[in-house]
Structure 1
Amino acid sequence: MKPTNLKHLFSSYDGNENLFDEIFDKKQNVRQVYQKLFDIYNDQSIEDFINLNNKAKTSFFNQGITFQVYNDAKAQEKIFPFDLFPRIIDADEWKTIEQGVIQRCKALNAFIWDVYHDKNIIKAGLVPIELISSSANYLRQMDNLDPVGGIYNHISGTDLIKHSDGKYYVLEDNIRCPSGVSYVIYNRNALKRSLFGVFNHYNIHTVTDYSENLLDILESVKPKGVDVPTCVVITPGVYNSAYFEHSYLAKTMGIELVEGRDLVVENDFVYMKTISGLKRVDVIYRRIDDTFLDPLEFRKDSAIGVPGLFSAYKNGNVTLVNAPGTGVADDKAIYTYMPEIIKFYLGETPILNNVHTYHCSRPTDLKYVLENIHNLVVKPVDEAGGYGISIGNKLTKAEIEAVKKVILQNPRKYIAQPIMSLSVHATYIEDCQSFEQRHVDLRTFTLLGQDKEFVLKGGLTRVALKKGNLIVNSSQGGGSKDTWVLKK
């Protein structure tokens, strides 16, 4: 059903009544919070909007705001797709989201501490020891190590969806090296440059305070005995898909962006090579995977790590953000136990619910998954970026049988979830030069430090640009929107 009284950019907008549309209600009337925004956009001529859209794309390209699509053989880099129609979240709705993600991140931090120390949750029989010992992200080297302030997941990215019931659900936790925050800020800047006038009609929280809060978090976990810490961002290099973000965050925090070859370890202290000689480094925001950090401790073939870095960390002379070994908690198999984890460590009821999840290592769950794949989304527990996901109702019979065989080869590696009805949002589609419904999710960014916490009031709204597609990741061809959190 199409909304009534539409023209120009929304003239071909076709609403699906079975989906939760964040712009239009069930009667296809514009929701009140979007009315002014809708009127402003709908008054634009198609030609003017095409020009604005092209200017935004050019701006992203000129600033190097690109990403890598690893399965695209035709192109190494692409402009990050940005939609000019923002998503709005009201103050009350955001309050629930913010409280929920903070609760979740604190529980995950407590869980990681326990896993590497007393293992009380395992002794209580709430999480199986096999789930921890078989995790590819469990680092035995972290056993009984005490990070500064007891913080492991200093930076967390929590992925949320809004279901057809209008409620938010957590889809997954990302606490190894969550990315995407730079796009949040550049989306806001691009929209301000393209359509500055729209901001006069809404009272919106800023997103440009992220870097200063991130620096505060880094400095709060400085090693003992250090008054004014030297912080750096370490990157695998310019060919990494998220290099733009690494360089952006270093620049906006006013700290150095380094590669492994720029650092050296002497007597268990880390130093940065400068034209004035060696300078001690105290805190490293690392965008390098655990096993590549130190060839003396992990992968011997790592050419991007720093020999001796883990020894310096182990001796408390440098802080690594996030801590090594955090990946044991963003294993999607652990996600299954998050309600129990929150209750066990915090004594609280989860504010944000999980999507119901079947873990294939459980015989009863495995049986259900194999019999109902056509109604499920199957995910590997240790992949990111939307890779390895199978959506049952999109598969042929032959493909379903192939997925079954893969699961049976290693049930521990897979979970399955019901095919959730992600909310949809008005998104400009260039091919038809108008707006259409597209599925969206939301990645929030939470910072935990020593007696500090911060949630970026905006987050990254990701858009599945292909019609009917549920996978929103940029690596799978998705795009993004500016996310407005309204002030009270």
Structure 2
Amino acid sequence: MSKVNWENYASKGFFDELIAGPGKPRPEAAMLCQYLAELDSREITEHKTAAEVAIQLMGITFTVYTEGSMIDRAWPFDIVPRIIALSEWQKTEAGLKQRVQALNMFIDDLYHDQKIIKDKVFPAEILEKSVNFRPQCVGVHPPHNVWAHICGSDLVRDNDGTLYVLEDNLRVPSGVSYMLENRNVTKRVMPELFAGGRIQPVDDYTSQLYDMLASMSPRPGDDPCIVILTPGIYNSAYYEHAYLAQQMGVEVVEGSDLVVGEDDCVYMRRIDGLSRVDVIYRRVDDMFIDPEVFNPDSILGVRGLMRAWRKGNVALANAPGAGVADDKVVYAFVPAIIKYYLDQEPLLPNVPSYLCMFDKDREYVLANLDKLVVKPANESGGYGMLIGPHSTKKERDKFAELIKSDPRNYMAQPTLSLSTSPTLCADGMEPRHVDLRPFILSGESPWVTTGGLTRVALTKGSLVVNSSQGGGSKDTWIVDLAGN
């Protein structure tokens, strides 16, 4: 591992999060860059090894599904953090709060009066073909009129320095435990950099999450019983379920641990009998949470859960049906949704998008498949996409047929020049593409993490940051330049 020389570091053609030009760290990154430059090659290797050992000792893992098998892997982590100035982050935070507020109003409207459709701001045909609209949720009034209590919005920065919202994850967003653990690992490896107080803390997330969940309890005033409903130990995000439960001091339960009584309340089976449950933070998809209403073969959910929820006897986060707004076609309408419900201009821009359901957009997409990123409306994790510039003719021909057969299910965006961040590689410090997933909690009022989960494409030239497809992550520092 060679010594870091920022004069030799260059991210040609891309905005770099830390380095403005050869040998020129951005102001918010100056402290870190100086620290790294003063380390010799032996010390850099020791830092990297210390992080790997910490991850092993802390048991930070994720699960990869490959060819019918499941493999637990150590969390892939890069010791060089991604840094954002506090002044920029405050504007980003305001934009995220605005966005999630409007999306929650949109979801609530769709399950009640559908005014946005009647006023012809949002096309009825998109809702009619939505795979995540749940008729069983029509007329329900969840606490605070909030449906998406936990949202993870993916942000990307283009080469002009603009932060765009790439997508909103409103169903069962994951990754926040890794954001918190990344900070714990970084503090172990470089504790001296946290002494000055400029790096903003992130460790209040779990207390904020607990307070938000508690505020939803149907029995206000009591000490609420909160549980995390997991699909089980073989789920790829089980590490996170267990981590959050441990941090909040609540139980992790599976569907078989819960039962709905004759009074339509939810109870947890305990050694000493049944104990009433007030709030369920569910990490199980809609279609599996209640075999009485959704998939009758599901063994992951709780029979009668929807009955209890509809009667207000238990709170569910996120609410069933929230995924109606977690649709990459709906995404294209979010600026109009913000304007309609809040009468405000969006503080954070969308990536320009083409909807294949519209003839003109579809013609453009089919004619430019080699230049665009094409996404199905409801896939996640980077699956089912076509990255045009890196595709073969055979792949483009396949996608052309998919688009023609189901235009509503596809949208396309220009290939962004994703920003880079210095990443420790085998040959030294090299630029790698990154994105960012902040987490927004919505209860009585919205709250945003100070930063988020920075994911990094560890393969040179790759734009795919998902850990399931070879990506890794970094700690994210929000730095107060005015701090001591």
TM-score, normalised with respect to structure 1: 0.95
Output the CA distance in 1 between the equivalents of 2:222 and 2:144. Answer: 16
Does 2:402 match 1:409? Answer: no
Note the C-alpha offset of 1:68: 2.2
- Cα deviation for residue 446 of structure 1 reads 0.6
The alignment-based identity, stated in percent, is 47
Query: Quick check: 1:13–1:436 contact (8 Å CA) kept in 2?
Result: no
What RMSD, in angstroms, separates the aligned Cα atoms of the two structures?
Answer: 1.6
Instruction: Give the letter for the 2:474 counterpart.
Output: K
Number of the residue aligned with 2:416: 420
On the 8 A contact 2:8/2:23 being kept in 1, the answer is no
Instruction: Find out whether 1:346 has 2:339 as its counterpart.
Output: no
Partners of 1:74 and 1:313 lie apart in 2 by 35
1:4 aligned partner:
none
1:455 aligns with 2:465: no
**1:262-282 Cα shifts (integer Å, max 9, x gaps):** 111102110001112100000
Q: Does 2:296 align with 1:300?
A: yes
Is the partner of 2:121 in helix, strand or coil? coil
Cα pair distance change 1:72/1:183, threshold 3 Å: farther
Following the alignment from structure 2 to structure 1, what is the Cα–Cα distance between the partners of residues 271 and 473?
A: 40
CA distance in structure 1 between the partners assigned to 2:77 and 2:445 by the alignment = 32
Separation (CA, whole Å) in 2 of partners of 1:74 and 1:143: 39
The Cα shift of 1:52 comes to 2.3
What is residue 439 of structure 2 aligned with on the other side? 445
Q: Alignment partner of 1:9: what SS?
A: coil
Residue 167 in structure 1 maps to residue 162 in structure 2: yes
Structure 2 portions without partners, runs of 5+: none
Query: How far is the alpha carbon of 1:10 from its aligned partner?
Result: 4.1
The residue type paired with residue 237 of structure 1 is G
Residue 467 (structure 2) aligned to one of 459, 468, 474:
474
Which residue identity lines up with residue 337 of structure 1 in the other structure?
F
Among 240, 255, 260, the residue aligned to 2:250: 255
| Local SS of the residue matching 2:181 | helix
Query: Is 2:6–2:24's contact at 8 Å kept on the other side of the alignment?
Result: no
SS in 2 for 1:69: strand
- Residue 394 (structure 1) aligns with: 390
Report the counterpart of residue 144 of structure 1 in structure 2: 139
> Distance between the aligned counterparts of 1:159 and 1:439, measured in 2?
14
**2:432 alignment partner AA:** R
Cα shift at 1:217: 0.3
Whether the 8 Å CA contact 2:16–2:421 is kept in 1: the answer is: yes
Question: Residue 188 of structure 1: SS of its match in structure 2?
Answer: helix
Contact 2:278 2:314 in 1 (8 A): yes
- Runs of at least 5 residues in structure 1 that lack an aligned partner in the other structure: 1-6
Show CA shifts across 1:12-71 (max 9, x none): 954133111122224552222222211211222222222321221222233231112334
Cα distance in structure 2, aligned partners of 1:446 and 1:148 = 17
1:475 alignment partner, SS class: helix
* Aligned match of 1:85: 80
2:168–2:331 contact (8 Å) kept in structure 1? yes
Match of residue 62, structure 1, among 26, 49, 57: 57
**CA distance in 2 between partners of 1:33 and 1:261 (Å):** 50
Q: Which amino acid aligns with 1:345?
A: Y
Q: Is the 8 A contact 2:6 2:23 kept in 1?
A: no
Pick one of 189, 199, 206 that aligns with 1:204: 199
Q: Could you say which residue in structure 2 is the equivalent of 1:176?
A: 171
Measured in 2, the distance between the counterparts of 1:372 and 1:35 equals 41
Letter in 2 for 1:458: G
Given candidates 297, 300, 308, the residue that maps to 1:312 is 308
Distance in 2, matches of 1:243 and 1:336, equals 32
What SS is found at the alignment partner of 1:127?
coil
TM-score scaled to structure 2, two decimals? Answer: 0.96
Question: What residue is the counterpart of 1:373 in the other structure?
Answer: 369
* Residue 48 of structure 1, aligned match among 39, 43, 52: 43
1:8–1:42 contact (8 Å) kept in structure 2:
yes
Deviation at 1:73, TM superposition (A): 7.3
Give the distance between the partners of 2:145 and 2:46, measured in 1 at CA: 51
Task: Report the CA distance between 1:284 and its aligned residue.
Answer: 0.3
Shift of 1:88: 1.4
1:237 corresponding residue in structure 2: 232
Kindly provide the CA deviation profile for residues 117-168 of structure 1, in whole angstroms up to 9, marking residues without a partner as x.
0000101111111111211111000011111121101111111011111111
Deviation at 1:9, TM superposition (A): 3.1
Q: How many residues align?
A: 479
Conserved 8 A contact 1:442-1:459: yes
CA distance in 2, matches of 1:234, 1:32: 44
**1:150-191 deviation per Cα after TM superposition (whole angstroms, max 9, x unaligned):** 110111111101111111100000011111100111001001
The alpha carbon displacement at 1:485 in A equals 1.1
CA contact under 8 A between 1:13 and 1:437: conserved in structure 2? no
* Aligned counterparts of 1:402 and 1:308: Cα–Cα separation in 2: 42
Confirm or deny that 1:30 pairs with 2:19: no
SS in 2 for 1:250: helix
Task: Note closer, same or farther for the CA distance 1:73–1:85 as it changes in structure 2 (3 Å cut).
Answer: farther
Contact 2:206 2:247 in 1 (8 A): yes
Question: What displacement does 1:349 show?
Answer: 0.3
Superposed counterparts of 1:185-224, under 5 Å:
185-201=180-196, 203-223=198-218
